[in-house]
Structure 1
Amino acid sequence: MQIKSRKDFVSGLMFMGFGAAFSLGAFNYTVGNAARMGPGYFPMLLGALLAGMGAFVLLGSFRSQRADGGRIGAIAWKPLLYIVGANLAFGVLLGGVPSLGIPAMGLIAAIFAAVIISSMAGSRYVFRGSLILAVILAIGSYLTFVMGLSLQFQVWPTFITG
C-alpha cells in the first residue's frame, strides 16, 4: 500500500493520537458503564470516537485521488499562538493565579479577552466585530451558566464586587 495523501495520513495519525490520549487519560477517573456513568466515561467515549474517525481518515489516505500527494504546508504559527494564548488568557482571567499574585477577573473579562485575542488569529482583524461578538457571548454565557444553570463562579472582577 502506498500513501496517496500525506495530509490525510498525518491528520489521521494526529486524530488517533489525541483520541487515544484522551481515552487513556479518562481512566484516571471512575469510568463506570453506560447505566452508571462516572466522570471519566464521556471523555473516554469522545476520545475513542475521535480515534476511530482518525482511523477512517488515515485509511482514506491510501485511496485518495490527489495528484500532488496532498503536500503538507508550513505550520501557521501566528494563528496557533493566538488561539493557544486566548485559551491561556481565558483560564488565567477566569480563575486567577494566586501563587503569582494574579487575581481572578471573572467570566465577563475572560470572555472579552479570549474573543479579542482569538480574533487576531484570522487574516483580517476587525476590533469592532470582536467587541460585538464578545458582548453577545458574554451575555449568552451569563444567561446560560449563571442564570439558567445556577453555576456559582465569579462573574465580575473582585475590585468591582468587593
Structure 2
Amino acid sequence: MRRSLKIRSQKGFAAGLLYMVVGANVSYVSTGYTMGTAARMGPGYFPFWLGIILAVIGVIVLLQSLRISAERDTIPHLDMRTTVWVLGSVVLFGLLLRPLGLALSLVLMVILASMASHEFGWKGAVLNALLLLSISLGAFIYGLNLQLPVWPSFIE
C-alpha cells in the first residue's frame, strides 16, 4: 500500500520553506565575497555556512511537517491591520531616525507597533518603549559606540 505525501503542519511546512529559501539566498550572495578558510576566514565564510545551516534546519522542519505524527495545523488568515501597523512603524522609524534621533523615533516606532495588538494599552506600550530605548542606548550608543543621532537635530 502506497501512502500519499500530505502536509500535516502547514505552519511547519511554510517555516521550513522560508528557512530554506533565506538560507540558500544568504549562501549564494556570500559567494560573491572572499571565502577564506576556517583558519583565516574571509568576509563570505561565516554568512555562507550560516546560510547552509539555516537551509538544513529548513529541510528538517519541512520534513517534520510531513510526518504522520505531526500536529495538524493551518496557517491563519493574514490580518492586514496588524501587518500595516507593524511594517509601517518600522518604515517610519527608518525615515525618522536622522531628523528625530534614536530616542524619539524608537519610542514612536514601539508605540505604533503596539497599536497592532488587539489588547493595546498606553501604559504597557510606553513602558515597553522606554525599556527598549534604554537597552538600545546601552548597547548601540554606549556599548558599540555607533554614531547615531540620539536626539533630534534641532536640539543637538
Contiguous gaps of at least 5 residues in structure 1: 96-103
Q: Aligned pair 1:86/2:81, yes or no?
A: no
**Residue 19 of structure 2: which of 15, 18, 38 is its match?**
15
One-letter amino acid matched to 1:116 = I
Contiguous gaps of at least 5 residues in structure 2: none
Note if contact 1:26-1:40 (Cα within 8 Å) is conserved in structure 2: yes
**Residue 151 of structure 2: which of 153, 156, 161 is its match?**
156
Q: What are the superposed Cα offsets for residues 110-160 of structure 1, whole Å, 9 maximum, x if unpaired?
A: 211221122122221112211111112112211222222222221111011
**Residue 130 of structure 1: which of 125, 134, 152 is its match?**
125
**Residue 75 of structure 1: which of 74, 78, 85 is its match?**
78
Q: What are the superposed Cα offsets for residues 68-103 of structure 1, whole Å, 9 maximum, x if unpaired?
A: x533332232222222222212222224xxxxxxxx
> Matched residues in 1 for 2:45 and 2:58: separation?
20
Q: Structure 1 residues 128 and 66, CA, compared in 2 at 3 Å: closer, same or farther?
A: same
One-letter amino acid matched to 2:90 = N
Note if contact 2:15-2:58 (Cα within 8 Å) is conserved in structure 1: yes
Instruction: Report the equivalent of 2:49.
Output: 45
Relative to the length of structure 2, the TM-score reads 0.81
Q: What are the superposed Cα offsets for residues 18-49 of structure 1, whole Å, 9 maximum, x if unpaired?
A: 22222223334444333333444443333222
Relative to the length of structure 1, the TM-score reads 0.78
Instruction: Report the equivalent of 1:98.
Output: none
Q: CA RMSD in A?
A: 2.3
Identity of aligned residues (%): 38
Following superposition, the deviation at residue 6 of structure 1 comes to: 4.7
Number of residues paired by the alignment? 152
> Matched residues in 1 for 2:127 and 2:110: separation?
10
The 3-state SS of whatever aligns with 1:158 is coil
**Residue 60 of structure 2: which of 56, 62, 74 is its match?**
56
